[in-house]
Amino acid sequence: MARITLRQLLDHAAERGYGVPAFNINNMEQALAILEAAAAVDAPVILQASRGARSYAGDLMLARIFDALEAMYPAIPLCIHQDHGNDETTCLSAIQHGFTSVMMDGSLLADAKTPATYDYNLDITARVTRMAHAVGVSVEGELGVLGSLETGEGEKEDGHGFEGKLDHSQLLTDPDQAVDFVTRTEVDALAIAMGTSHGAYKFTRQPDGEILAMSVVEEIHRRLPDIHLVMHGSSSVPQELQDQFNQAGGQMPQTWGVPLAEIERGIKHGVRKVNIDTDCRLAMAAEIRRVAKVSPAEFDPRKFLKPAMESLRDLCRDRFERFGTAGNASKITVLPLAEMARRYRPRIAA
């Protein structure tokens, strides 16, 4: 039994001072590459599926992939997480399909575009937390809206994120509000806004404290030392991957992501879950483009996907090592959902 809740995994990470990358997946190839990397370095894994991933692959297919991974890698604790759940239905149907953790992102309304009020966020997150905890499943909430401190805009690349412009008071999580939110919702993990956004185009220059406000992470951790913090939009968009992509015919304008050193700094200040999707996409897409360029006669999808999986595997292995996740899988004894539910019960009854 290797399916672990986010709560148990992040409690372990906090005790030992490491962070866990949460990789987005949409298909078998990504799942296999990530698990291969994890097994090579003895790392526990968080795989997360967005609503887009669930509609791309289908819930049944994703559920079968997770079952297969569990059977193939029984020694790797595997957390299955709903990324950016937009309402109760998304979160509860994820639980029905074997997810051990859900994100209720109440920073936006259910349309995933309109910034929500604080009261809306508090109410929906508390309700989802109560329901999820009743069956032992963990919950990540979000306070503050992800978006660029340079432009005031949300990401447009993947069709979710707010439209228009916001000011810094909405783009930076307020530490006082964070204390109130965590106390009243009882979430297991909190995603905070500090200037990161989804996709490749996060920063127009190497980020400094003006546009990547790591001081917000430090302040919230000082006030809430026991909550597990989550950094979204945390791809590094490495220069070498941008170069590989462009040398193979891609057209990615120069961009900057979140430097690994800043993530490491976050991990020292309570960041336990680090969301990474763009880097994984870029690693695979650069290889697919390279094969298409050097072998224009090739038409066997496996010839494209195998090197793409190897590139993703190497990227994931590096993140497991850099964040200190490596070496911890074998140190965790996974608790079943029923035991997690039992531990939440006194709080639910109160």
Question: Is residue 224 a contact partner of residue 174, using CB atoms and an 8 Å limit?
Answer: no
Q: Binding to Zn ion by residue 12, rule CB under 5 A?
A: no
Q: Binding to ligand G3H by residue 277, rule CB under 6 A?
A: yes
The CA-CA-CA angle for residues 101, 33, 77, to 5°, reads: 40
Q: Binding to Zn ion by residue 273, rule CB under 5 A?
A: no
**Measured distance CA(232)–CA(219) in Å, rounded:** 17
Q: Binding to ligand 13P by residue 234, rule CB under 6 A?
A: yes
Binding site partner of 160, from ligand 13P, ligand G3H, Zn ion, none, Cβ cut-off 5-8 A by kind: ligand G3H
Interface with Zn ion (CB under 5 A), residue from 3, 228, 232, 317? 232
Q: Binding to ligand G3H by residue 42, rule CB under 6 A?
A: no
Would you list the DSSP string of 282-344? HHHHHHHHHHHHH-TT---HHHHHHHHHHHHHHHHHHHHHHTT-TT-GGG--PPPHHHHHHHH
Q: Binding to Zn ion by residue 160, rule CB under 5 A?
A: no
Hey, which residues between 16 and 55 contact ligand 13P (CB under 6 A)? Answer: 24
Site string for ligand G3H, 152-181 (x = CB under 6 A): ------x-x---------------------
Binding site partner of 236, from ligand 13P, Zn ion, ligand G3H, none, Cβ cut-off 5-8 A by kind: none
Q: Binding to ligand 13P by residue 242, rule CB under 6 A?
A: no
Q: Binding to ligand G3H by residue 140, rule CB under 6 A?
A: no
Interface with ligand G3H (CB under 6 A), residue from 6, 7, 8, 24? 24
Q: How far is the CB of 276 from ligand 13P (least distance, A)?
A: 5
**b/e burial code for range 26-49 (CB count within 10 A of at least 16 → b):** bebbbbbbbbbbbeebbbbbbbbb
Closest listed residue to residue 139, CA positions, set 7, 4, 275: 7
**Measured distance CA(55)–CA(271) in Å, rounded:** 29
DSSP letter at 176? H
Question: Is residue 277 a contact partner of residue 23, using CB atoms and an 8 Å limit?
Answer: yes
Q: Binding to ligand G3H by residue 83, rule CB under 6 A?
A: yes
Q: Which two tokens stand for residue 244?
A: 């590989």
Q: Which residue is nearest to Zn ion (CB)?
A: 232
Interface with ligand 13P (CB under 6 A), residue from 44, 77, 233, 266? 233
Site of interaction with ligand G3H (CB under 6 A): 24, 50, 52-53, 83-84, 158, 160, 198, 277
